[in-house]
Amino acid sequence: MKLNKKSRLFFCFIVIHCMFNVPVVSQNIKDSTLIYYNSINEIKNMEVTSKAFGFFENKSKEALKRNDTIGAAYYLELIALGQFKMGFPYESEATTIKAFKLLDPIKNNPKAIEPRQRLLNQLGMLYRKIEDFNNALRYYKQALVLNAHLVDKVAIVNNMANIYADQEQYDSAITELDSYYKEVLNLKDPYIQATYLDNLGYFQSKVGNAMAIKNMMLALDIRKKTEDLPGLFSSYRHMALYYFDRDMLPESREYSLKVQTIANTLNSPIYQLEAMKLLLKQDKNPVIENYLKLSLESEKTKQLQENKFAAIKYNIGEKEKLVVESELQQEKQRKLKLVYLFLMFVVLLSALFLWIILKSKHRKDKLQVVYTTESRISKKVHDEVANDVYHAMTKLQNNSNNKDDLLDDLEKIYTRTRDISKGISAINVKGNFNDLLYDLLISYKSEEVGVIAKNLSAINWQGVPDLKRATIYRVLQELMTNMRKHSKASIVLISFSLTKNKIVIDYKDNGIGCKVLKHNGLLNTENRMASINGTIIFDSEPNSGFKATITI
């Protein structure tokens, strides 16, 4: 009855769907929809039912073109129902899942909830049919979560209990049903109510529960009032089995005869065959019992073979799809690999160009430094040595007899030559760098100039690389030489400090100051500091002394 009720819902949807979604619908189309629907709802002519599948497949495609996803899913659901009834569970499974996929993107749409419930229930029936009980229970439980109506919940719970009963797990079946017992007694739907009570009572009879006969009788009374013949068939059959299990054969035979009467009234071979089996069972004839047992096993084996063949057919189709998908995936991977190789080539080529550019720049920078250094030394030799030599030569040409003056001039030339040599010679900075710096600074001390080195010992030079030490030495040397030549200072203060893990050296003198023009020596100090990622900042005005801040 549950299935018929669902089918009526299908038909209502299809008729309304055709009326309101297609502008002009001919009578032939309406008639075809009804004919094909009926051919699935009650399979009588296999040829017509087969055509129905194609008809509703086209209807589903048309619905998709109109972006009517729910309508397309409904038509697929109807095809899946027909496939299930014709004994093709695996084809039905594939169609049901296809319908599910259509609804997945809109699963939060309230209109999609009801079809998703039915599809889950359909999957539960499919897996029960092929005796995949775990999957059957899984989908029934999902359908139970989606359903909000008690009637639907009870119907699904009945289905779940039947799965446990199929495995003779009657206690689990009873547990599944018991939680709804009080609510079922107040249900307004007599068909669901009677089905629930009849199943519960029969399962209870299998475990010797005293409530069994009471619940079965309640179900029987409801079915008599509603004249539900299929329901009465089920109730009489369960009553006959109840008494048969307890060796109460007269009562069991009485109900078996009632089962036969209902089967003849329904005029259905399926019902009549079941009634005949029940009557034969009453005689307890070993030959008949063995026949019925073998017949049941043979029928079960046949069904399993049919399912197996359906599974093979389904799996072959799936394998073909997998092969195509695998080839597409391989092609996609191949293209991605080519893209990655191209990108890697571009990155490597870019890195090579960058390396060449940086190397070229570094070479130019080195040449510039060499050129600057050579120019500075050349100028220094010219300004400080060559002029003094020329002056001494002039004195000799004038036949100067003052040997002391000449010796003084030569001593000055020697001193300046020594200073220039000292300024460009290599420095051994690996020893005690504090002492080395101190000696450098104090060497510029004279009677006219006082030099103070403050907090020099506070700096730990152990972690400072040799290149940076040498650079600091040369920069301070340049500052002190510049002071002696130009500043006319009487006091020079060089302070050392450590700020935020950086060494800061402050130079100050009280000389005449100047406008800071970065030529020659000062520019050279800036270049030196930049080469070790350090800085030097100059601050001076005429008559305001000279300041410089070194940071490294």
Express each pLDDT in 322-338 by its tens digit: 555 666 677 778 888 88
Asked whether the beta carbons of 279 and 260 are under 8 A apart, the reply is yes
83 or 9, greater pLDDT: 83
Asked if residue 430 has pLDDT above 50, the reply is: yes
Least reliable range by pLDDT among 157-166, 383-392, 450-459: 383-392
CATH 3.60.130.10, domain 429-551, yes or no: no
Q: What is the mean pLDDT of residues 57-78?
A: 91
Q: What is the pLDDT of residues 536-547, one digit of tens each?
A: 999 988 888 999
Q: Between 32 and 404, where is the model more confident?
A: 32
Percent of the chain scoring above 70 in pLDDT: 74
What's the mean per-residue pLDDT of the chain?
80
| pLDDT(15) > 60 | no
How many CA within 13 A on the CB side of residue 382?
6
Return the domain boundaries, the chain: 1-148, 320-425, 429-551
Res 414: pLDDT? 59
CATH of domain 1-148: 1.25.40
At residue 86, the pLDDT reads: 78
Residue 417, pLDDT score: 66
What is the structure's pLDDT at 262?
92
Residue 415 · residue 404 · CB < 8 Å? no
Backbone angles phi, psi at 488, to 5 degrees: 60, 35
Per-residue pLDDT tens over the stretch 88-124: 888 888 898 888 888 888 888 888 888 888 888 888 8
Give pLDDT tens digits for 260-279: 999 899 887 878 888 888 88
Helix runs in 104-189, H state only: 110-129, 133-146, 150-166, 170-178, 181-185
| Per-residue confidence (pLDDT) for residue 127, from 0 to 100 | 87
Give the mean pLDDT of 36-53: 80
Give the Cα separation of 203 and 179 in Å (integer).
15
pLDDT for res 254: 93
**Secondary structure letter of residue 42 according to DSSP:** S
Q: Is the pLDDT of residue 4 over 60?
A: no
* Long-range pairs for 425-433: beta carbons < 8 A, 24 or more residues apart: 427/470, 427/473, 427/474, 429/466, 429/469, 429/470, 429/473, 430/466, 433/461, 433/464, 433/469
Give residue 310's pLDDT.
Answer: 44
Contact 78, 54 (CB under 8 A): no
For residue 374, what is the enclosing H or E element?
helix 286-380
pTM over 0.75: no
